[in-house]
Amino acid sequence: MKTNLFIEQHFHGCYGVDFNTASVDDLLMLSQKILKEGVGFIFPTLVTDTIENTVRQIEVIKTAAAKQSSDMAKICGIHLESIFLNPLKKGIHNSDWFLKPTLDNFKLLEDDFIRIVTLAPELADLELLNYLRSKGIKVQAGHCVGTDLSMCNGTTHTFNAMDGVTHKKPSTVTSALVKDDLFTEVIADGVHVCDDALKLLFKVKQMNKILLVSDCLPCTHSELKEFDFAGERIYFDGVKATSKDGTLAGSTMLLPDIVKVLAKKDLFCKQHISNSYDYHSIESRGEIEWDDEFNIVEVRY
């Protein structure tokens, strides 16, 4: 079987690299290694941090993007999963650094390399939402409880860190499932979303609106077992990575690993990969060849 290369629009690092602390050389190394694993395009994702550190890392990522060569996964822009979230659904994020989602606050860290912003729409000013959309920035609802997703392009890690399905009132997940023009990220690693919830998403949501993401952490494909992330000490037990209190910090798989998980459950569809090309209007640059057990045989780029 052949598929497009992956577009990874939501991940925080791998190979021991954390995008919130990475150097330019770290990013170049990561983008070169990850292309060989079948990921052709990446949107480094910044977790909540101070404004100063966020601005610093935006510059680091931009500098790395300008120095890339053709044997590297293209850095397409930054996913800002940071600062403009709802404390009620903070997950691993440090809510001490949260700011109200206003245009003035966004301008504290605004950069033309920011291509995706995850925020809580129920807290966001209409002025900010209109501004982001006018700039062509994808607005994604995440770490939120809002049900009005009319100003959003997508949802961030659907089911996780948002109000779930309930029959008595609208919820973020329910709105995401029934809104036909909305793209929905999902972490299908077998840890973040149970099989029945995943089957519900695949059955109810239009197949061309589902985006596979990893949301993976620096420990992914590395020897790290303990590390600092988002101001917390994170512990990786070989299956999941959590804080001391058991809060999930993100996944520990790259997208090719997640495809193998889905394939074993007979839930994988090639369109899961191609949807991201439509979402970001990116042209394909190569392909992956898989064997019958969904091991990668060859990556061509």
pLDDT of residue 263: 96
Mean pLDDT for the chain?
97
pLDDT value at position 9?
A: 98
β-pair partners for 41: 7, 74
Task: Kindly give the residue spans of alpha helices, DSSP state H, lying in the chain.
Answer: 24-36, 51-66, 103-106, 126-134, 172-178, 195-204, 255-264, 271-280
Distance CA 196, CA 53 (A): 39
Reference 207, options 190, 183, 188, 189; nearest CA is 183
The pLDDT of residue 144: 98
User: In CATH, what number is assigned to the domain containing residue 70?
Assistant: 3.20.20.140
Residue 282 falls inside a structural domain: yes
Give a yes or no: residue 269 inside a domain: yes
pLDDT band at 119 (very low <50, low <70, confident <90, very high): very high
Q: What is the pLDDT of residue 19?
A: 98
Specify which residues 146 forms β-bridges with: none
The mean pLDDT of 175-198, rounded to a whole number, is 97
Residue 13: inside a domain, yes or no? yes
Question: For the chain, how many structural domains are there in total?
Answer: 1
Residue 204 lies in a domain: no
Q: What is the mean pLDDT of residues 132-157?
A: 98
Mean pLDDT of 67-91: 98
106 phi/psi in degrees, rounded to 5: -65, -35
Q: What is the mean pLDDT of residues 4-30?
A: 98
Range of 278's domain? 2-139+186-198+212-300
pTM for this model (two decimals): 0.97
* pLDDT level of residue 291 (50, 70, 90 thresholds): very high
Question: What pLDDT was estimated at residue 100?
Answer: 98
Residue 50 pLDDT: 97
Domain assignment present for 147: no
Q: What's the Cα-to-Cα distance from 78 to each of 67, 69, 156, rounded to whole Å?
A: 16, 18, 14
Q: Average pLDDT in the 189-213 region?
A: 97
Q: Please report whether residue 144 resides in a domain.
A: no
The answer to whether residue 79 is domain-embedded is yes
Task: Tell me what the mean pLDDT of segment 110-132 comes to.
Answer: 98
In a domain, 150, yes or no: no
> 183: which strand partners?
154
